[in-house]
Amino acid sequence: MGAGRPDGRSIGRECAGRRAVLGALAGGALASPRVRAASEADQDAWPALAARIFPNRVLENGSSLLVIEAPSRPDDAAVVPVTVHAAFAAGDARRIWKITLVIDANPSPVAATFTIGRESGVSRIATFVRVNSDSPLHAVAELSDGRMYAVARTVQAAGGCSAPALRLPADALPLGTLRFREVAVAGPSGGLGRREAQVMLRHPNASGLQMDPVSRRLIPADFLQWLRIWQGDALLLTVECGASIAENPAFRFDFQPNAATTFRVEGADSEGRQFSGSFQAATSI
């Protein structure tokens, strides 16, 4: 299976470039969380971080257009639920084309970038992330008019990027197993015209900061880099991500159903493994 994008650009080249950017952003990645927290208390890191991730772009206040939801004090810093959704006023015909989720204090701040299919109707995306120390979470949306908007929410947590991986039993699902489920959701008028889907991948998504309990050495980074999800031949969502996404990556999103009878998922990780699966669309929900 090739790793090309629908627009002809190479996913491999794009991900390599993103890794280079994230490497530059993560200078001092192994620094103590306390040292990082202390330095961030002295000055807001977001303006400089935003300038590096979104060079030469103006980020407007998106509080009236976009909502980011996450627990302020999560139970587990290695599995923090985050949801981003549109909140357009009635009559606003613009659409979200791309959402970038940034965890400011993480060694790899850019957790994921979601590129939304033009006819997909996706307006809500949820996933689970690692949070390494108390940090703002930023969601930056690029709209169909070309303007960009940002919103933030602070999460108080520590150690999410270095938390030990789950040890699943030998008969658990093998690495690379894809799962897909589809559910109906109520629309604004109470009807069930829209649906939600969830894609789950069995993968350690190792951050590179976790320690092997036996050897006491750091486990090498090994994480999902991208996923593409189609409804029939229509692209629903492209996800580009890294080590700040939690173990066993899962992405849930709403979408507008079409007449397609199948869904297709493809992806690859930082070790060059490729994943794919085809799933039947629900005939009734």
| Domain total in the chain | 1
285 in any annotated domain: no
Residue 169 pLDDT class (50, 70, 90 cuts) = low
Task: Give residue 16's Cα distance to chain centre.
Answer: 17
79 in any annotated domain: yes
CATH number of the domain bearing residue 20: 2.60.40.2470
Residues 128-152 have a mean pLDDT of 96
End-to-end CA separation in angstroms for the chain: 32
200 in any annotated domain: yes
Question: Over the stretch 17-75, which tens digit does the pLDDT of each residue have?
Answer: 444 444 434 333 333 343 344 344 434 889 999 999 999 999 999 999 999 999 999 99
Domain that holds residue 211: 12-280
Residue 9 pLDDT class (50, 70, 90 cuts) = very low
115 has pLDDT over 90? yes
253 in any annotated domain: yes
Q: Which helix (H) or strand (E) holds 179?
A: strand 178-185
171 in any annotated domain: yes
Q: What percent of the chain has pLDDT over 70?
A: 78
140, 148 Cβ separation under 8 angstroms = yes
101 in any annotated domain: yes
Residue 213 pLDDT class (50, 70, 90 cuts) = confident
Residues 78-85 have a mean pLDDT of 96
Q: Which helix (H) or strand (E) holds 21?
A: helix 11-25
The whole-angstrom separation of Cα 274 and Cα 265 is: 11
Spatial CB neighbours of 239, under 8 Å, sequence gap ≥ 6 = 112, 113, 114, 226, 227, 228, 229, 251, 267
224 in any annotated domain: yes
Q: What is the mean pLDDT of the chain?
A: 83
Degrees to nearest 5, angle at CA 195 with 189 and 199: 150
